Amino acid sequence: MTLKLGIIGTNWITKMFIEAAIATDQYELVAIYSRTEEKGQEFATNFAGDQAVWTDLDAFLQSGIDVVYIASPNSLHFEQAASAIKSGVNVIVEKSAFDNPEQYEKIHSLLQENPSVKLFEAARHIYQDNFKVIEEKIKQMDHISGATFVYEKYSSRFDDYLAGKNPNVLSREFSAGALADLGVYPLYAAIKLFGLPENQYYFATLLDNGADGRGTAILRYPNFDVTLIFGKSTNSYELSEVHGRRDTIVIDNIAELGEVKYDDGQGNLTVISQPAPKNPMVQEAMFFANGLQDNLTTNEYEEAAILSQKVNLVLTKLRQSAGIKFPSDQEY
CATH of residue 87's domain is 3.40.50.720
What pLDDT, on the 0 to 100 scale, is given for residue 276? 92
Torsion sign across C-alpha atoms 245, 315, 5, 19: negative
Same domain, 59 and 145: no
Same domain, 118 and 134: no
Same domain, 228 and 239: yes
Q: What is the pTM for the complete model shown?
A: 0.96
Same domain, 220 and 147: yes
CA angle in degrees (0–180, nearest 5) for 265-266-270: 75
Share above pLDDT 90 across residues of the chain, in percent, rounded to a whole number: 97
Asked, for residue 167, whether it belongs to a domain, the answer is yes
What pLDDT, on the 0 to 100 scale, is given for residue 331? 62
Same domain, 253 and 150: yes
Amino acid at 236: S
Same domain, 93 and 238: no
What does the pLDDT look like over 290-323, one tens digit per residue? 999 999 888 999 999 999 999 999 999 999 999 9
Same domain, 151 and 254: yes
Count of domains for the chain: 2
Residue range(s) defining the domain that contains residue 139 = 126-280
Same domain, 113 and 136: no
CATH number at residue 244: 3.30.360.10
Same domain, 75 and 161: no
